[in-house]
Structure 1
């Protein structure tokens, strides 16, 4: 325990650990967040164990005193060990990982109140179009002027004018006001035999307060959520905190409704769309132990829980749990490690578990619990293939005749259909019909995707957008742009031609980009206000619509293109998940899969509904290739704004590669996405045996090579993206 001196982990990795003197009368402990001087500035740091943070000794006489201890609970030993493990495993800096823990600067300030505003019920002296828009958008809302302006799409000046006229009234609020309390016994469900058996084991694991990694493997519609809610209830009864990780913010609102119906109060949410005051309030409630259940995206995993008793990773197979920039961690795997350090159960719930998770269960490292059938008598849908080499859609069309007919029949019966294509926008490629010019992103080696709804050409990698030009920039020909290939917007247009009276909903990350919009979509679908849903992978995740009886997969082969080493597994998971949206109520479901390769093993397995056969074949293929879970992958990505500089740096790394029997090193070579956000990229790929000390090899290797300031070298352990 620190006494007269303290070693700090500083939030700037370039500084390294720094030692300070603890002034008389100040009490610090390991994990305390403190303010310290650095030159003329003040910086923040975490008091850390000297043995875990080695540094050159500094004489006592040269130590500067700490300035203050921040009034929040210290970071626990269990979370400090998780920070160390994550930094070590993913070859990241301790500071980079610790920044995810202290992710709300406002939370570190003391108790506070703030002024928010809401409509008073009065009317302005004069109604303008902007004021009218504000009135429509702000009904029932309360927030700061800046946040209200964002919600209403008007300037802050417009709202301040309404404040001056008394139309918006100020409300003083306690920033850290308590949350409503959830009750474990509020609305207990009736579980079927299989759910009761599984929930009993999950409740037992919570009671035992020991590390227990559990794979909850249940078919779509089997009631996995209701089942693990019983473990959540037991944790609440025992005054322990619960973390539930969800892969997509769009799922949050539907989940919150189910949670509130079961426990009588909504959980605390944590995701990127939170206002700064909401983030502060949540962080402090979590750190103090007041927060009972937190539902969030992967970043919620690093919050400073005071008394964590259970972690649930829902839809645990989802690749969105893998962070692709900054600290490149997989939240599913880090969740298991947090459970290990906290000595609590971790539940990985999925209808299509990752092959690595199934392997861990098969080898006895994870416990596997199975829900083999759908809840309430619902049956799994019938699956049929449509061979597009035989049932070709017409010219310029993408929906085959059998799928068209099935959609017509569903509409006539008042049932819902869902069409799935994992491609946003109207078309993946736009070119000039006169000269063949292709529209490319100026910042990336990627085509611009036409979004006809927003009238933009957009890059899905860097976010660059531009309006479609009136003439070709290459040949000057007017009105010459032609869309090549389908996106979901184009499919929605085709649905409108086939079913002109149908009410069509387009569901993508562009249209459901907030929890509120997702909630509106769910309410419309459940209320029967939608006939046909057209969507990307977002529609594969967790939605439950009892009247949805038909799922059509527009292009099941799309995910098999591009050489992704996990392509078959991802395709199986996506198509199986979207197929699972059909027939979840009393009416039988049907799935029609359009494909040009019906003989492909993954497509044949989907048709047969034989998941185990697919996973067995995929497991053997991985075993022979030395791929995960039988081997290890890692990628080293070298980038610079100058192509020659990036290439030279990558070649220097390649020239100093270690010669090892248990590690194969490929490259360097240009990355498939060779230009990303104006940076040229080269990649080396490592394939190692399980016995290799992969992280140690990479650290020692890269430490021998210096690079110019403009070069970045990133390491991706267990990569999911190969672009």
Structure 2
């Protein structure tokens, strides 16, 4: 009679780019699917995630290693979470381990326990003897004991009441108080749920209709909430959340930028008496794990986060809101290249819950789905209260003497608004002093050695900085080619405009907001606070300043230099420019003051500018979608992009050419295989970059072709000499 089996097989994934799973031996009972285990892999130990219990191993059993440790008594990812991630693996054709581990905070990837960190609490050891054994002069110790007699308190809670660590140590030495470590008690927000009714404004007809439609939705219900900037989309979100929270269910709010999170949190906290947590890259590893646990355990009612928050487990998710759903940051551009908007739609479908996509400038994919009836289209065309739609002006920059990018007519308009106590916002999506440095004597240009790009001149720091690879060097004292000393900046950057504004308007304060002067933690929020408090009259910035901010005193917005966007080669460039234009324009006239939007261009008669200024985004989008349909471009077709890079150009070309030669005979005639072709900036960060595009009229056909290509790559010897990646539904070409 054979002895009972004491071990079995488990299948795991590891956070590595290999597209395969691995089998190990484990003692019985087997760790559940979704648990983490520690395994020996190569010459090291790694955290792995259990994804299956196979009956038969993929290799001979005697070759299998036993797992080292089971890290979790219960799964860190539920079957529902695993199902969503498995779908993502199959759709995006990415390595399973990297996909699954994307859903785990860094500390869990490192093998830390999936538990809250213990918190120190001070306790009163002798409540009945609070005043005894203390001298009459020990006022602080007596105060501390009285506070602790009511309830245990953390050192931080005691410190804000004036109780220092020295006072507490004195009590501990006398045996009257002691510090104990304990886990935080989970918040029971459902029992104490409340809404601040005084904070709720009266909805206009369009807002009320949108809220009513969302409230009446049952099961999976996708909505596209398209509203002009300042039309009150956030208020629709808030009132759509009410019945969900009242039922004790959680709400996920996705936002594109970390910088938008604080003001969103403040608005939501003022409305709802519930725990609100954030998930974004600005958190520490411990803060992120605690927030992740609060989502999973249900002690967080509202979760506000950027792209990766979508992959977080929830106890009972009841509604997903995506603000600025068109924003490019919702698409991950490296590693696991998923689109948060698309995965959120799938998650809502699997949970049978409503999802609301909000934007003043919806992505063409979302508009196409709304026009075809897949999404319910909700429109907000009015601005609440006395706010009006801004007036648009196109200024011709030709034959005009510009002062650091500012035309005389624009300067005059600025003077008029500033003299009336209003604020002015200038937009220039190019930081630094000048985008290039040249020698006036011989024409030499300061080019980055690692990229096909010029260095940007940062005059304040006396540095040349490549914004593509982040390489920096000091500004040379003379031309390295001819020795000349007349080194001049060419082009326009925010730093240059800031200096010009100080000379033109010395009586007014200017604040510059770009990535260079908001690096210090909290500086961005300080700048925004200064704007709202009226400490700055002129606001100058890049795209950071254009998104989602409410500045009621801004009555004039000017876009200084946008001509390059009118002639870009990427077919999505006009869509991105139109979205940026409308978003920037939306900062003007958001309160009771009328606003104006000024766009300076050497091509004011360009059809795109005329369409946006006179007809608005909706007309532009419908026209552009018809052009996309005629050209067979997304969203009327589907794309997959192979990207390849190497220190030399030839291996990339050889690899892609070999792939094309083997792949093309397998493809149907109607499937487009374009390339190989080099990137627009062929060399970046020392790597030469090439690409191959597949395009099909249906997703299934594209998926088959992409899988065939992946199978062929393993047979191509040149694959070992390059780094390659596959991007399903790419939003940009190299």
Query: Which residue, out of 308, 312, 323, partners 2:332?
Result: 323
Deviation at 1:407, TM superposition (A): 0.5
Aligned residues: 662
* Match among 328, 335, 340 for residue 349 of structure 2: 340
353, 378, 383: which one aligns with 1:374: 383
- 1:694 alignment counterpart: 702
Report what 2:131 is aligned to: none
Indicate if the aligned counterparts of 1:37 and 1:66 stay in contact, CA closer than 8 A: yes
Q: Distance in 2 between matches of 1:177 and 1:455?
A: 53
Q: C-alpha displacement at 1:421, in angstroms?
A: 1.5
2:680 is the alignment partner of 1:672: yes
Q: Report the equivalent of 1:526.
A: 532
1:644-663 alignment, distance < 5 Å: 644-659=650-665, 660-663=668-671
- Note if 1:6 corresponds to 2:10: yes
1:393 aligns with 401
Q: 1:198 aligns with which of 210, 214, 230?
A: 210
Q: From the superposition, tell whether residues 110 and 563 of structure 1 become closer, same or farther in structure 2 (CA, over 3 Å).
A: closer
For residues 413 and 56 of structure 2, the distance between their equivalents in structure 1, rounded to whole angstroms, comes to 67
Secondary structure, counterpart of 1:417 in structure 2: strand
Distance in 2 (alpha carbons) for counterparts of 1:651 and 1:381: 52
Question: CA, structure 1 residues 290+386, in 2 after alignment: closer, same or farther (shift >3 Å)?
Answer: same
The counterpart of 2:430, out of the listed 419, 423, 426, is 423
Deviates more, 1:542-551 or 1:364-373: 364-373
Correspondent of 1:23 among 24, 27, 47:
27
- Deviation, 1:513, is 3.9
- SS class of match (1:45): strand
Pairs within 5 Å for 1:60-459: 64=66, 67-71=69-73, 73-106=75-108, 108-109=112-113, 111=115, 113=117, 183-187=193-197, 188-192=199-203, 193-205=205-217, 208=218, 210-264=219-273, 267-389=276-398, 392-394=400-402, 397-459=404-466
In 2, Cα distance between equivalents of 1:308 and 1:112 = 21
Q: Which residue of 2 aligns with 1:633?
A: 639
Q: 1:273 to 1:62 in 2, by over 3 A?
A: closer
Structure 2 distance, partners of 1:490, 1:623, is 42
Q: Is the 8 A contact 1:35 1:70 kept in 2?
A: no
Q: 2:470 aligns with which of 449, 455, 463?
A: 463
Which of the residues 586, 600, 603 maps onto 1:594?
A: 600
Structure number with larger C-alpha Rg: 2
SS at match of 2:325: coil
1:546 lines up with 2:549 in the alignment: no
When residues 556 and 191 of structure 1 are mapped into structure 2, their CA distance, relative to the original with a 3 A threshold, is: farther
Q: Could you report, residue by residue, the CA deviation over 1:500-529 in whole angstroms, capped at 9, with x for unpaired residues?
A: 211111112333346722321221111111
Q: CA deviation at 1:532?
A: 0.8
When structure 1 is superposed on structure 2, of 407-416 and 439-448 the one drifting more is 439-448
Secondary structure at 1:591 match in 2: strand
Distance 1:177 1:676, change over 3 A: farther
Distance in 1 between residues matched to 2:202 and 2:571, nearest whole Å: 39
1:450 and 1:17, CA in 2 relative to 1: closer, same or farther beyond 3 A?
A: same
Alpha-carbon deviations, 1:155-186, whole Å to 9, x = none? xxxxxxxxxxxxxxxx9987867679594413
So what's the TM-score if we normalise by structure 1? 0.86
CA contact (8 A) 1:249 1:271 kept: yes
Q: Spell out, residue by residue over 1:433-466, the C-alpha distance to the aligned partner (whole angstroms, 9 max, x if none).
A: 2222211222221211122233322111221122
* Structure 2: gaps (5+ residues): 1-6, 121-154, 157-178
For residues 691-718 of structure 1, what are the alpha-carbon distances to aligned partners after superposition, in whole Å with 9 as ceiling and x for unaligned?
A: 6611220221232132353411112222
SS in 1 for 2:27: coil
Distance 1:115 1:595, change over 3 A: same
| Alignment correspondent of 1:568 | 574
Does the alignment pair 1:685 with 2:696? Answer: no
In 2, the alpha carbon distance for the partners of 1:218 and 1:436 equals: 49
Query: Aligned equivalents of 2:74 and 2:245: distance in 1?
Result: 23
1:524 and 1:699, CA in 2 relative to 1: closer, same or farther beyond 3 A?
Answer: same
What CA distance in whole angstroms lies between the structure 1 residues aligned with 2:41 and 2:275?
43
Which deviations, in whole Å up to 9, do the C-alpha atoms of 1:557-593 show, x marking residues without a partner?
Answer: 2322331211111111101111111000111011111
**Corresponding position of 1:123:** none
Contact 2:119 2:184 in 1 (8 A): no
> Could you state the TM-score of these two structures normalised by the residue count of structure 2?
0.84
2:479 aligns to what? 472
Q: Unaligned 5+ residue runs, structure 1?
A: 117-141, 144-170
State the shift of 1:56 in Å. 2.4
Query: Contact 1:113–1:172 (CA<8 Å) still a contact in 2?
Result: no
| Deviates most, 708-717 or 407-416 | 708-717
1:287-328 CA distance string (max 9 Å, x none): 222222221111111112222222111101111211111112
Once the 2 structures are TM-superposed, how far is the Cα of residue 45 of structure 1 from its aligned partner?
2.4
Q: Write the distance in 2 (CA, Å) between the matches of 1:585 and 1:231.
A: 24
Match for residue 138 of structure 1?
none
Question: C-alpha separation between the residues in 1 aligned to 2:31 and 2:87?
Answer: 24
Deviation at 1:332, TM superposition (A): 1.4
Maintained 8 Å contact 1:598/1:604: yes
Moved more, 532-541 or 99-108: 99-108
- Compared CA separation, residues 476 and 558, structure 1 to 2 (3 A): same
CA offset digits 1:253-282 (Å, max 9, x no partner): 221221222224672111112112211211
3-state SS of 1:309 partner: strand
Shift of 1:234: 2.5
Match of 1:32 in 2: 35
In 1, Cα distance between the equivalents of 2:354 and 2:498?
44
The answer to which of 219-228 and 507-516 deviates more is 507-516
Contact 1:72–1:108 at 8 Å: present in 2 too?
Answer: no
